[in-house]
């Protein structure tokens, strides 16, 4: 669940939305909000809303159908093309349609290009354009361009295609555009973009140049549009607002996805599990979870991923790019979602609550793993020895016992370990770090087990007993030494 996005719970959630984004519905952290469909409960109503939407999608949509009617929603396209009467959801889509399908000659105050459908406000810019992109030999004469070889005037021509010197009589009228293909092709990948400037922006993908820098966190961008969008994270600007519940979003795509929760219209259904989606792209992404398809390939280590975002996050491990920094402890993190979760370690927020014992957790995955201690579920089973585990990570570490793999190496003494946790504990022997301190005498220890054993000296407890003479010891190795001598 990306801290990304029953009957009574849904009604309460909607009332919060109508109040203006949920600001008036903040509840005390001492209250719990249980899910009506499973055993998970939350300390925040917003997290319950997200959980119901994404985990219990069918039940959520059923409740929406009772609360909303299609007549309440105005989701029909409002922007109509005056030429062909096609309708669009936004003004930007209408403009794009008009440019591509119904191109118009530029206003006469501009200087039109004789070869393509572009135009320029200044004659000098048009001259540079013709020389650079069309390889034309032109000169400026009396406020317009002419061919430097044959002298033909381009004063009234627009989009006529490549110019050929000394064309025979009877050529097509100069006022009728012939070449409407204004695309410029990338020599690296073959992609076509609209303008030479767009091509220069596109080429940064191949060169790796990122000239736009965020002054807040230092992250770099290859395009100005990406930089502007990123800056909204720091300013808190959310320009896309839902007209129904008042919720605001950073990106227009997030608003479109959100609107499907109101309309209940999810026309794309998974044939395998029946899950419904509002967008075909979302369905295509979901289908990879059934097929195990991972089309996005890391060129550095060969690992494959099912989404482009996961590949992008993974790539930062190779480049050491960590664009987001925690303002409290200075920790740099590559992913914004991970930073939001990390901040809970400072705020103390633990939104996921166990209904059995009352423990709270920072992550939903931690809660689910914890709940297995109550249910006894151990879904991860070793195929070698049939030993089972509550967490997948524990199974991965256990398998290394059978394979003998020790991927974590100490840079100082080159000793190897099966897990990063074991390596971290070993590294304290080099750094002399002793994070576990006795509250009684102030003595520090490298391992928590050492502190527990040390505490026996203060409590006087001796848990290890000799089976022969019943003498008791505080440490197990003391008992072992005694047993060999006891007659």
Q: How confident is the model at residue 18, as a pLDDT? A: 40
Q: How confident is the model at residue 3, as a pLDDT? A: 37
Torsion of CA 52, 54, 58, 59, to 10 degrees: 0
Q: How confident is the model at residue 181, as a pLDDT? A: 52
Average pLDDT over residues 214-229: 82
* Contacts of residue 61, Cβ cutoff 8 Å, sequence gap at least 6: 264, 266, 276
| DSSP string for residues in 240-275 | EE-TTT--EESSHHHHHHHHHHHH----EE-TTT--
Q: Which residue has the higher pLDDT, 18 or 207?
A: 207
C-alpha 477/C-alpha 457 separation (Å) is: 15
Write phi, then psi, for 167 (nearest 5 degrees): -65, 145
Task: Give me the CATH topology for the region 380-457.
Answer: Double Stranded RNA Binding Domain (3.30.160)
Residue 139 CA from chain centroid, whole number: 51
Tokens of 157: 């021509």
C-alpha 42/C-alpha 27 separation (Å) is: 11
Q: Are 213 and 219 in contact (CB under 8 A)?
A: yes
Residue whose C-alpha is closest to residue 447's, from 425, 430, 431, 427: 425
Helix (H, G, I), strand (E, B) or coil at 36: coil
- What value does the mean pLDDT of the chain take? 77
In the chain, pLDDT over 90 holds for what percent of residues? Answer: 1
C-alpha 184/C-alpha 190 separation (Å) is: 9
Average pLDDT over residues 389-413: 88
Average pLDDT over residues 418-429: 87
Q: How confident is the model at residue 441, as a pLDDT? A: 92
Average pLDDT over residues 282-291: 80
Q: Which residue has the higher pLDDT, 308 or 385?
A: 385
Q: Which residue has the higher pLDDT, 428 or 163?
A: 428
C-alpha 75/C-alpha 261 separation (Å) is: 13
Residue whose C-alpha is closest to residue 127's, from 108, 154, 101, 106: 154
Q: Are 398 and 391 in contact (CB under 8 A)?
A: no
**Scanning the structure block, which residue is given the tokens 């030999």?**
137
The domains of the chain are located at: 380-457
Q: Are 395 and 373 in contact (CB under 8 A)?
A: no
Q: Are 89 and 79 in contact (CB under 8 A)?
A: yes
pLDDT band at 17 (very low <50, low <70, confident <90, very high): very low
Q: How confident is the model at residue 10, as a pLDDT? A: 39
Write phi, then psi, for 245 (nearest 5 degrees): -115, -5
Residue whose C-alpha is closest to residue 42's, from 54, 29, 53, 56: 29
Residue whose C-alpha is closest to residue 363's, from 333, 378, 377, 343: 343
Q: How confident is the model at residue 1, as a pLDDT? A: 37
Task: Give the count of alpha carbons within 13 A of 326, CB side only.
Answer: 17
Average pLDDT over residues 116-120: 76
21-25, 306-310, 346-350, 372-376: least confidently modelled range: 21-25
Q: How confident is the model at residue 50, as a pLDDT? A: 77
| DSSP string for residues in 356-409 | TT--EESSHHHHHHHHHHHH----EE-TTT--EESSHHHHHHHHHHHH----EE
Between helix 7-18 and helix 57-67 the angle, nearest 10°, is 60
Q: Are 182 and 198 in contact (CB under 8 A)?
A: no
Tokens of 415: 């000793």
Average pLDDT over residues 65-76: 52
Q: How confident is the model at residue 215, as a pLDDT? A: 82
Q: Which one of 6-20, 48-62, 93-107, 439-453 scores highest in mean pLDDT?
A: 439-453
Bridge partner list, 153: 146
Q: Indicate whether 227 pLDDT > 80.
A: yes
pLDDT band at 6 (very low <50, low <70, confident <90, very high): very low
Q: How confident is the model at residue 67, as a pLDDT? A: 62
Average pLDDT over residues 107-131: 79
Q: Are 223 and 217 in contact (CB under 8 A)?
A: no
Q: How confident is the model at residue 71, as a pLDDT? A: 42
Residue whose C-alpha is closest to residue 288's, from 296, 276, 298, 300: 296
At 205-215, the pLDDT tens digits run 888 888 888 88
| DSSP string for residues in 286-315 | HHHHHHT---EE-TTT--EESSHHHHHHHH
Q: Which residue has the higher pLDDT, 80 or 313?
A: 80
Average pLDDT over residues 410-421: 88
Largest CA distance in the chain: 124
In the chain, pLDDT over 70 holds for what percent of residues? Answer: 82
Q: Indicate whether 260 pLDDT > 70.
A: yes
């Amino acid at each position: 669940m990306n801290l990304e996005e029953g009957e009574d719970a849904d009604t309460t959630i909607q009332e919060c939305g109508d109040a203006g984004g949920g600001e008036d519905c903040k509840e005390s952290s001492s209250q719990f909000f249980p899910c009506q469909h499973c055993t998970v409960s939350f300390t925040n109503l917003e997290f319950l809303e997200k959980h119901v939407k994404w985990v219990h999608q069918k039940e959520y949509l059923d409740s929406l159908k009772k609360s909303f009617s299609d007549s309440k929603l105005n989701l029909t396209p409002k922007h109509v093309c005056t030429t062909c009467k096609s309708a669009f959801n936004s003004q930007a889509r209408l403009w794009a349609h008009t440019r591509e399908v119904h191109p118009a000659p530029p206003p006469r105050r501009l200087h039109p290009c004789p070869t393509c459908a572009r135009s320029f406000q200044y004659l000098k810019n048009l001259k540079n354009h013709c020389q650079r992109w069309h390889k034309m030999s032109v000169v400026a004469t009396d406020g317009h361009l002419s061919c430097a070889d044959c002298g033909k005037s381009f004063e009234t021509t627009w989009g006529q295609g490549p110019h050929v010197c000394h064309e025979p009589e009877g050529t097509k009228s100069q006022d009728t555009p012939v070449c409407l293909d204004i695309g410029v092709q990338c020599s690296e990948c073959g992609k076509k973009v609209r303008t030479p400037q767009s091509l220069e922006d596109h080429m940064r993908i191949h060169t790796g140049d990122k000239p736009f820098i965020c002054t807040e966190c230092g992250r770099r961008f290859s395009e100005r549009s990406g930089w502007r969008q990123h800056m909204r994270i720091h300013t808190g600007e959310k320009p896309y607002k839902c007209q129904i519940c008042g919720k605001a979003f950073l990106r227009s795509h997030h608003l479109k996805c959100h609107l499907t929760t109101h309309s209940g219209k999810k026309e794309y259904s998974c044939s395998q599990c029946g899950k419904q989606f509002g967008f075909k792209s979302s369905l295509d992404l979901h289908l990879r979870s059934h097929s195990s398809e991972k089309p996005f390939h890391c060129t550095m280590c060969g690992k494959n991923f099912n989404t482009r975002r996961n590949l992008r996050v993974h790539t930062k491990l190779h480049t050491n790019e960590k664009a987001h920094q925690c303002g409290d402890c200075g920790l740099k993190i590559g992913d914004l979602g991970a930073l939001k979760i990390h901040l809970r370690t400072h705020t103390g927020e633990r939104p996921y609550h166990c209904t059995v014992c009352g423990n709270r957790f920072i992550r939903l995955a931690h809660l689910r793993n914890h709940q297995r201690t109550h249910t006894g579920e151990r879904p991860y089973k070793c195929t070698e020895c049939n030993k089972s585990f509550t967490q997948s990570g524990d199974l991965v570490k256990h398998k290394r016992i059978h394979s003998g793999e020790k991927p974590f190496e100490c840079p100082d003494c080159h000793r190897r370990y099966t897990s990063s946790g074991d390596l971290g504990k070993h590294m304290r022997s080099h750094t002399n770090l002793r994070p576990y301190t006795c509250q009684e005498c102030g003595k520090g220890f490298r391992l928590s087990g050492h502190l527990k054993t040390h505490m026996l000296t203060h409590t006087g407890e001796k848990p290890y007993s000799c089976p022969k003479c019943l003498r008791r010891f505080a440490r197990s190795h003391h008992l072992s030494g005694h047993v060999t001598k006891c007659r």
